[in-house]
Amino acid sequence: MNILHAIILGIVQGLTEFIPVSSSAHLVLVPWVFGWPAPGLLFDTMLHWGTLTAVVAYFWRDWISIIRGFFRSLTAHGPWNSSTHGRLADADSRLAWGIIIGSLPAVVFGVLFEAFFESLFGSPAAVAVFLLVTAGILTLSERLGSRTRSLKTLTMTDAVAVGFAQAVAIAPGISRSGATIAAGLARGLKREDAARYSFLLSTPIIFGAGLKQLLDVVTSGASAAAPWGAVLAGTLAAALSGYLCIRFLLAYLRSGKLYVFAAYLVMVSVAILILNAIR
Protein backbone atom coordinates (compact mmCIF):
# COMPACT_ATOMS: atom_id res chain seq x y z
CA MET A 1 0.00 0.00 0.00
CA ASN A 2 1.32 3.43 -0.91
CA ILE A 3 0.72 6.67 0.97
CA LEU A 4 -1.88 7.97 -1.52
CA HIS A 5 -4.00 4.83 -1.14
CA ALA A 6 -3.64 5.09 2.64
CA ILE A 7 -4.79 8.71 2.73
CA ILE A 8 -7.79 7.97 0.50
CA LEU A 9 -8.83 5.03 2.67
CA GLY A 10 -8.29 7.11 5.82
CA ILE A 11 -10.59 9.81 4.48
CA VAL A 12 -13.15 7.17 3.50
CA GLN A 13 -13.02 5.72 7.02
CA GLY A 14 -13.32 9.11 8.71
CA LEU A 15 -16.28 10.18 6.60
CA THR A 16 -18.23 6.94 6.54
CA GLU A 17 -17.74 6.05 10.22
CA PHE A 18 -20.09 8.88 11.14
CA ILE A 19 -22.09 9.63 7.99
CA PRO A 20 -24.74 6.86 7.86
CA VAL A 21 -23.39 4.98 4.84
CA SER A 22 -21.31 2.19 6.51
CA SER A 23 -17.55 2.52 6.89
CA SER A 24 -17.04 -1.26 6.87
CA ALA A 25 -18.73 -1.53 3.47
CA HIS A 26 -16.71 1.30 1.93
CA LEU A 27 -13.41 -0.08 3.22
CA VAL A 28 -14.27 -3.36 1.53
CA LEU A 29 -15.62 -1.86 -1.69
CA VAL A 30 -13.07 0.90 -2.45
CA PRO A 31 -10.04 -1.46 -2.71
CA TRP A 32 -12.19 -3.99 -4.56
CA VAL A 33 -13.39 -1.45 -7.15
CA PHE A 34 -9.91 -0.05 -7.83
CA GLY A 35 -8.06 -3.35 -7.56
CA TRP A 36 -5.88 -2.25 -4.65
CA PRO A 37 -4.29 -4.81 -2.35
CA ALA A 38 -6.06 -5.53 0.93
CA PRO A 39 -4.84 -3.00 3.50
CA GLY A 40 -4.35 -5.55 6.26
CA LEU A 41 -5.30 -5.80 9.93
CA LEU A 42 -2.78 -3.25 11.22
CA PHE A 43 -3.99 -0.54 8.86
CA ASP A 44 -7.63 -1.27 9.69
CA THR A 45 -6.78 -1.10 13.40
CA MET A 46 -5.06 2.26 13.10
CA LEU A 47 -7.98 3.71 11.12
CA HIS A 48 -10.24 2.79 14.04
CA TRP A 49 -7.89 4.62 16.41
CA GLY A 50 -8.00 7.60 14.07
CA THR A 51 -11.80 7.83 14.21
CA LEU A 52 -11.69 7.22 17.97
CA THR A 53 -9.39 10.23 18.27
CA ALA A 54 -11.87 12.30 16.26
CA VAL A 55 -14.91 11.48 18.40
CA VAL A 56 -13.04 11.95 21.68
CA ALA A 57 -11.55 15.27 20.51
CA TYR A 58 -14.97 16.57 19.49
CA PHE A 59 -16.88 15.43 22.57
CA TRP A 60 -14.20 15.72 25.27
CA ARG A 61 -16.27 18.17 27.31
CA ASP A 62 -19.26 15.84 27.11
CA TRP A 63 -17.13 12.93 28.25
CA ILE A 64 -15.88 14.82 31.29
CA SER A 65 -19.51 15.52 32.29
CA ILE A 66 -20.51 11.91 31.57
CA ILE A 67 -17.68 10.48 33.69
CA ARG A 68 -18.58 12.81 36.55
CA GLY A 69 -22.21 11.77 36.20
CA PHE A 70 -21.21 8.11 36.38
CA PHE A 71 -19.36 8.58 39.67
CA ARG A 72 -22.20 10.70 41.06
CA SER A 73 -24.57 7.83 40.39
CA LEU A 74 -22.33 5.48 42.41
CA THR A 75 -22.17 7.76 45.43
CA ALA A 76 -25.76 9.07 45.34
CA HIS A 77 -28.59 7.68 47.43
CA GLY A 78 -31.93 6.40 46.23
CA PRO A 79 -33.27 3.86 43.74
CA TRP A 80 -31.76 2.99 40.37
CA ASN A 81 -35.09 2.53 38.64
CA SER A 82 -36.22 6.16 38.65
CA SER A 83 -35.24 8.95 36.28
CA THR A 84 -36.81 11.64 38.43
CA HIS A 85 -35.06 11.03 41.76
CA GLY A 86 -32.35 8.85 43.22
CA ARG A 87 -29.16 7.77 41.51
CA LEU A 88 -30.26 8.62 37.97
CA ALA A 89 -31.82 11.97 38.75
CA ASP A 90 -29.44 14.07 36.64
CA ALA A 91 -29.06 13.86 32.87
CA ASP A 92 -25.31 13.12 32.87
CA SER A 93 -25.76 10.10 35.16
CA ARG A 94 -28.52 8.75 32.93
CA LEU A 95 -26.40 9.33 29.83
CA ALA A 96 -23.42 7.55 31.41
CA TRP A 97 -25.49 4.47 32.17
CA GLY A 98 -27.27 4.81 28.84
CA ILE A 99 -23.90 4.46 27.10
CA ILE A 100 -22.90 1.48 29.27
CA ILE A 101 -26.20 -0.35 28.77
CA GLY A 102 -26.39 0.63 25.10
CA SER A 103 -22.94 -0.87 24.46
CA LEU A 104 -23.74 -4.32 25.87
CA PRO A 105 -25.76 -5.72 22.92
CA ALA A 106 -22.93 -4.99 20.47
CA VAL A 107 -20.45 -6.75 22.77
CA VAL A 108 -22.67 -9.84 22.96
CA PHE A 109 -23.33 -9.88 19.21
CA GLY A 110 -19.64 -9.38 18.51
CA VAL A 111 -18.66 -12.39 20.63
CA LEU A 112 -21.38 -14.65 19.26
CA PHE A 113 -21.49 -13.73 15.58
CA GLU A 114 -18.16 -12.10 14.72
CA ALA A 115 -16.85 -15.05 12.70
CA PHE A 116 -20.02 -15.31 10.62
CA PHE A 117 -20.18 -11.63 9.72
CA GLU A 118 -16.44 -11.44 9.05
CA SER A 119 -16.93 -14.12 6.39
CA LEU A 120 -19.28 -11.74 4.56
CA PHE A 121 -16.58 -9.07 4.17
CA GLY A 122 -15.17 -11.00 1.23
CA SER A 123 -18.47 -10.85 -0.66
CA PRO A 124 -19.16 -7.52 -2.40
CA ALA A 125 -22.64 -8.75 -3.31
CA ALA A 126 -23.50 -9.39 0.35
CA VAL A 127 -22.18 -5.96 1.30
CA ALA A 128 -24.29 -4.37 -1.46
CA VAL A 129 -27.42 -6.10 -0.18
CA PHE A 130 -26.77 -4.87 3.37
CA LEU A 131 -26.33 -1.34 1.99
CA LEU A 132 -29.87 -1.61 0.63
CA VAL A 133 -30.99 -2.65 4.10
CA THR A 134 -29.36 0.46 5.54
CA ALA A 135 -31.12 2.59 2.92
CA GLY A 136 -34.42 1.07 4.01
CA ILE A 137 -33.66 1.75 7.68
CA LEU A 138 -32.84 5.40 6.98
CA THR A 139 -35.99 5.86 4.90
CA LEU A 140 -38.21 4.22 7.50
CA SER A 141 -36.71 6.30 10.32
CA GLU A 142 -37.94 9.48 8.66
CA ARG A 143 -41.50 8.21 9.05
CA LEU A 144 -41.25 7.13 12.69
CA GLY A 145 -41.02 8.97 15.99
CA SER A 146 -42.02 12.41 17.19
CA ARG A 147 -38.45 13.84 17.09
CA THR A 148 -39.29 16.20 19.97
CA ARG A 149 -37.28 14.77 22.88
CA SER A 150 -33.85 16.00 23.95
CA LEU A 151 -30.98 13.79 25.06
CA LYS A 152 -31.61 14.91 28.64
CA THR A 153 -34.76 12.77 28.62
CA LEU A 154 -32.87 9.58 27.66
CA THR A 155 -34.23 6.46 29.36
CA MET A 156 -32.70 3.02 29.76
CA THR A 157 -35.36 1.71 27.36
CA ASP A 158 -34.01 4.14 24.76
CA ALA A 159 -30.49 2.88 25.48
CA VAL A 160 -31.48 -0.75 24.97
CA ALA A 161 -33.30 0.01 21.70
CA VAL A 162 -30.41 2.01 20.25
CA GLY A 163 -27.93 -0.55 21.61
CA PHE A 164 -29.60 -3.38 19.70
CA ALA A 165 -29.55 -1.24 16.56
CA GLN A 166 -25.80 -0.80 17.05
CA ALA A 167 -25.39 -4.55 17.52
CA VAL A 168 -27.07 -5.27 14.18
CA ALA A 169 -24.51 -3.02 12.51
CA ILE A 170 -21.81 -5.67 12.98
CA ALA A 171 -22.88 -6.83 9.51
CA PRO A 172 -20.79 -5.22 6.73
CA GLY A 173 -23.01 -2.70 4.96
CA ILE A 174 -25.29 -1.99 7.93
CA SER A 175 -24.24 1.49 8.97
CA ARG A 176 -23.60 1.75 12.70
CA SER A 177 -24.36 5.46 12.79
CA GLY A 178 -27.33 5.00 10.44
CA ALA A 179 -28.88 2.23 12.54
CA THR A 180 -28.37 4.02 15.85
CA ILE A 181 -29.53 7.43 14.61
CA ALA A 182 -32.61 5.77 13.09
CA ALA A 183 -33.36 4.00 16.38
CA GLY A 184 -32.96 7.27 18.27
CA LEU A 185 -35.37 9.01 15.91
CA ALA A 186 -37.85 6.15 16.28
CA ARG A 187 -37.66 6.64 20.05
CA GLY A 188 -38.63 10.28 19.57
CA LEU A 189 -35.25 11.99 19.95
CA LYS A 190 -34.53 15.15 17.99
CA ARG A 191 -32.29 14.66 14.97
CA GLU A 192 -29.19 16.30 16.43
CA ASP A 193 -29.68 14.59 19.80
CA ALA A 194 -30.07 11.18 18.15
CA ALA A 195 -26.81 11.76 16.26
CA ARG A 196 -25.02 13.02 19.39
CA TYR A 197 -26.03 9.91 21.34
CA SER A 198 -25.00 7.74 18.38
CA PHE A 199 -21.52 9.28 18.33
CA LEU A 200 -21.08 9.05 22.11
CA LEU A 201 -22.27 5.44 22.04
CA SER A 202 -19.74 4.67 19.31
CA THR A 203 -16.78 5.61 21.52
CA PRO A 204 -16.54 2.46 23.70
CA ILE A 205 -17.32 0.24 20.71
CA ILE A 206 -14.62 1.80 18.52
CA PHE A 207 -12.20 1.63 21.44
CA GLY A 208 -13.02 -2.01 22.15
CA ALA A 209 -12.79 -3.06 18.50
CA GLY A 210 -9.52 -1.17 18.09
CA LEU A 211 -8.05 -2.70 21.23
CA LYS A 212 -8.99 -6.22 20.16
CA GLN A 213 -7.50 -5.67 16.72
CA LEU A 214 -4.35 -4.21 18.27
CA LEU A 215 -3.92 -7.33 20.39
CA ASP A 216 -4.41 -9.47 17.28
CA VAL A 217 -1.75 -7.43 15.46
CA VAL A 218 0.73 -7.81 18.31
CA THR A 219 0.20 -11.55 18.66
CA SER A 220 0.42 -12.12 14.90
CA GLY A 221 3.57 -10.04 14.46
CA ALA A 222 1.97 -8.09 11.62
CA SER A 223 3.54 -4.82 12.76
CA ALA A 224 7.10 -5.95 12.06
CA ALA A 225 7.02 -5.34 8.30
CA ALA A 226 4.31 -2.67 8.27
CA PRO A 227 4.59 0.36 5.94
CA TRP A 228 4.43 2.78 8.85
CA GLY A 229 4.52 5.90 6.71
CA ALA A 230 1.34 4.86 4.94
CA VAL A 231 -0.26 3.63 8.16
CA LEU A 232 0.33 6.92 9.98
CA ALA A 233 -0.84 8.95 6.96
CA GLY A 234 -4.09 6.98 6.82
CA THR A 235 -4.61 7.31 10.58
CA LEU A 236 -4.16 11.09 10.47
CA ALA A 237 -6.51 11.35 7.47
CA ALA A 238 -9.15 9.30 9.33
CA ALA A 239 -8.87 11.50 12.44
CA LEU A 240 -9.12 14.82 10.58
CA SER A 241 -11.89 13.77 8.21
CA GLY A 242 -13.80 12.13 11.07
CA TYR A 243 -13.68 15.30 13.17
CA LEU A 244 -14.93 17.44 10.29
CA CYS A 245 -17.60 14.89 9.46
CA ILE A 246 -19.01 14.97 13.01
CA ARG A 247 -19.27 18.76 12.82
CA PHE A 248 -20.96 18.56 9.43
CA LEU A 249 -23.49 15.89 10.34
CA LEU A 250 -24.57 17.47 13.61
CA ALA A 251 -25.17 20.76 11.78
CA TYR A 252 -26.90 19.05 8.84
CA LEU A 253 -29.30 17.05 10.98
CA ARG A 254 -30.71 20.14 12.68
CA SER A 255 -32.92 20.50 9.62
CA GLY A 256 -31.73 18.04 6.96
CA LYS A 257 -33.21 14.59 6.43
CA LEU A 258 -31.67 11.16 5.92
CA TYR A 259 -33.23 10.54 2.51
CA VAL A 260 -30.14 11.84 0.71
CA PHE A 261 -27.96 9.18 2.35
CA ALA A 262 -30.52 6.47 1.58
CA ALA A 263 -30.53 7.49 -2.09
CA TYR A 264 -26.71 7.40 -2.18
CA LEU A 265 -26.69 3.89 -0.70
CA VAL A 266 -29.18 2.62 -3.27
CA MET A 267 -27.04 3.97 -6.12
CA VAL A 268 -23.85 2.48 -4.69
CA SER A 269 -25.51 -0.86 -4.05
CA VAL A 270 -26.92 -1.12 -7.57
CA ALA A 271 -23.58 -0.13 -9.09
CA ILE A 272 -21.73 -2.76 -7.02
CA LEU A 273 -24.19 -5.50 -7.92
CA ILE A 274 -23.85 -4.66 -11.62
CA LEU A 275 -20.05 -4.52 -11.43
CA ASN A 276 -19.95 -7.77 -9.50
CA ALA A 277 -22.12 -9.49 -12.13
CA ILE A 278 -19.86 -8.22 -14.93
CA ARG A 279 -16.71 -9.39 -13.19
* pLDDT (tens digit per residue) in 75-88: 877 766 656 667 78
CA–CA separation, 102 and 163 (whole Å): 4
| Side-chain-side CA neighbours of residue 70 (13 Å) | 12
Predicted pLDDT at 75? 84
Helix (H) or strand (E) holding 116: helix 91-119
Residue 200 has pLDDT above 70, yes or no: yes
CA-based max dimension of the chain: 65
Helix, strand or coil for residue 189? strand
Q: Are 250 and 20 in contact (CB under 8 A)?
A: no
Helix, strand or coil for residue 176? helix
Structure letter (DSSP) for residue 151: G
Predicted pLDDT at 40? 76
What amino acid is encoded at 96 in this protein? A
Tens digits of per-residue pLDDT, 108-125? 988 887 777 777 666 788
Kindly report the backbone phi and psi dihedral angles of residue 123, in degrees, each rounded to the nearest multiple of 5, phi listed first: -115, 100
Q: Are 99 and 75 in contact (CB under 8 A)?
A: no
Predicted pLDDT at 81? 62
Strand partners of residue 149: 189
Higher pLDDT, 142 or 266: 266
CA–CA separation, 235 and 132 (whole Å): 29
Average pLDDT over residues 44-61: 92
CA–CA separation, 151 and 98 (whole Å): 10
Average pLDDT over residues 94-120: 86
Average pLDDT, the chain: 88
